[in-house]
Structure formats: C-alpha cells, structure tokens
Chain A
Amino acid sequence: MSAAEFAAGGQADARDIEVEAKAIFGFWVYLMTDCVLFAGLFATYAVLRDNTFGGPAGYQIFNMPEVLVETLVLLMSSFTCGLGVLAARGNRKAQVLGWFAATFVLGLVFLSIEVTDFHSLVTHGSSWTRSGFLSAYFTLVGTHGLHITIGLLWMAVLAVRIRKTGLTRGNVRRLTLLSLFWHFLDLVWIFIFTIVYLMGAARV
C-alpha cells in the first residue's frame, strides 16, 4: 500500500524535502517570535490585573460556561485542522476540503462568541478605556482574536487554491504551515484560558 502510494506520485526528490523542511523551520521561527509578542501582552495583563480603577474585576465580567464552550470549540477546530493535514498527506482532496471547512466553521463560531462578548462588555460600559485591567484584557484577548481572523482568511484563500489547483506539493506545504499556525493559536489560548479566565474567575 505504502509503496504503491509512493509510486503514485509521492516520490519527493531531496531538494523538495529540503525546501519543505526549511519552510517549516522558518515558519516555526516566526511562531516563536509571535510567542514573545504574546509574552509582552501576558506580562502587561499580569501587572495590570488588579488595577480595576473602580470598574469591574475579571470575576464580575467573565461568563465561564461560555468561555468553556469557546475553549472546546477552538480545541475541536485544532483537531479537525490536524485531520485535514493528515488527509492531505494521504492525497484525499475531498476530505481535506471537508476537514478544513469544519475547522473554518468552528473558528468562526469561536470568533463570533468572542466578538459578541466584547460587544456586550463595551455596551455595558466595560470597554478598554475603563481601567488598566480592561485595557490589558482587551489587548491580550483581542490580539489572539486578530490572529484567529487572519488564520480564517488564510484558510479561505488556501481552500480556493486547493479547489482550483489540487493538492500540489506547494499547496500541501502551505496547508502544513497553516496547521502549525492554527495549533499554535490553540497553544496560546491554553494560557489565556488559564491565566485570564480561570485565575480571574477564581480570584487568585
């Protein structure tokens, strides 16, 4: 089975493998520098967490069941994204498009929960101008949301590309990089979930 699959067009020459390895490493370096951006925002949040300036504290504004749903939706989208890459490695175009459609929808659900939440905070007078805590909160969570938005745009563009040109080596490479990006955003969310929401709700 595997030998037949390789013969069917999977034979990569050494140069292609090297190009792909370099692209993945380069993208990994970008992700690590993005971690430093988030570290700055996490540090700002940790410093300003208790500076509520008479406004609401975290435990008063966080809707925990909703945050748990948001977290599980993002986790599931990370899983479907992984299955999409796996389908690409098996050269199954329809499956790839299906898994990435699922990932896109789940990402969109996550984003809409977040935007709805932000909107209701702002309309109830708890916008980023209210206190140091809220400025740091909106910046940290909003930056993650911005990354998710960019990931969704990337996913949409790549899906169109794959529909048109198929699972070429270049497209599979782009898909692999996108999946790294998406899994990375789930990694960052673990810490937002723990440090911002759980520790905020527990008042510790």
Chain B
Amino acid sequence: MSDHAGPSILPAETRSASLRGYIFGFAGSIVLTVAAYLLVVGHASTNGVLVSALVLLALVQFALQLVFFLHLNMTTQQKWRLYMLGAMVIVVLVIVIGSLWIMGNLNARMTPAQEQQYMSAQGGL
C-alpha cells in the first residue's frame, strides 16, 4: 500500500450531502437527548410509560447516529458491517437479558433466613 499517494478525496457533491447528514444527525441527537432529559426532570408520566419512552428515544438516537455519523447503510460494501452489528446485538441481548433473568431468579429464590445470614456475615447494613 502506498502511504504517500494523495488522500482518498470525495467529490464536492458527496461531501455536501455528507455534511447535511452530519448536521441532521447532530440536531436530531440534541433534540432526542434534551427530550429524554426533560421527560425525567419533569416527571412527565408513570414509570412504565417513562421507561418505554426513554428506551425508544435512546434507540432512535442510536439508529440516527449509526446512519449519519458511522455511515452504516445497505450498500454491498457495508453489508458485512451490518451483519456484524446484527450478531453483536444478539450477543448483547443474550448477555444483558440472560444476566437479569438468572440473577433475578436467584434473588427470588433466596429465603429470608439466607438473606439474614448473608447480611450478618457482611457486618450488617
């Protein structure tokens, strides 16, 4: 690979399209971040609705940044990056949901006597 060749220059039209993408992604991310913040600070809704809204806002921002900042798209060049992302999402879901499931189950199965014993072994609360 030649290290002293010129940089890989993009045509001006592609660059201005890319710039519009960055600006859109940036503005959208700010709106989504501030919206999520205001929901929490204003205690706008009940817990269930609030959690769903926060997760939704985070996922929309995640997608927005993936497309406009990390330039993920459906072209053939990018296909393998998308597959890797899909595999990662599956692994992440297995780790997070699996951990919560298993640990919640263990917690539920702990008897009050075991809990008391553990607390006293730790020197109490």
Contact = CB atoms under 8 A, between A and B. Distances in A.
Given A39-B91, A186-B69, A170 B54 contact: no
A140 to B, nearest CB: 12
Interface string B79-120: 011001101100110011011100100000000000000000
A154 interface: no
Size range of the interface on B?
A: 35 or more
Contacts of B18: 86, 89
Nearest to B60: A190
Contacts of B51: 199, 204
A183 B80 contact: no
Which applies to chain B's interface (DSSP): helix, strand, loop or mixed?
Answer: helix
Contacts of B125: 53-54
Contact of B22 (A68, A86, A168, A201): A86
Interface string B40-79: 1101000100110011011001100110011000000100
Interface in A174-204: 180, 183-184, 186-187, 190-191, 193-195, 198-199, 201-202, 204
A20 B1 CA distance: 10
A125 B9 CA distance: 53
Interface of A: 1-2, 5-6, 8-12, 15-17, 19-21, 25, 28-29, 32-33, 35-36, 39-40, 42-44, 46-47, 53-54, 64, 68, 71-72, 75-76, 78-79, 82-83, 86, 88-91, 167-172, 180, 183-184, 186-187, 190-191, 193-195, 198-199, 201-202, 204
19 contacts: A5-B11, A5-B12, A10-B6, A10-B7, A16-B2, A19-B1, A25-B81, A33-B88, A43-B96, A53-B122, A68-B37, A75-B33, A78-B65, A82-B69, A89-B7, A89-B8, A169-B2, A190-B65, A191-B58
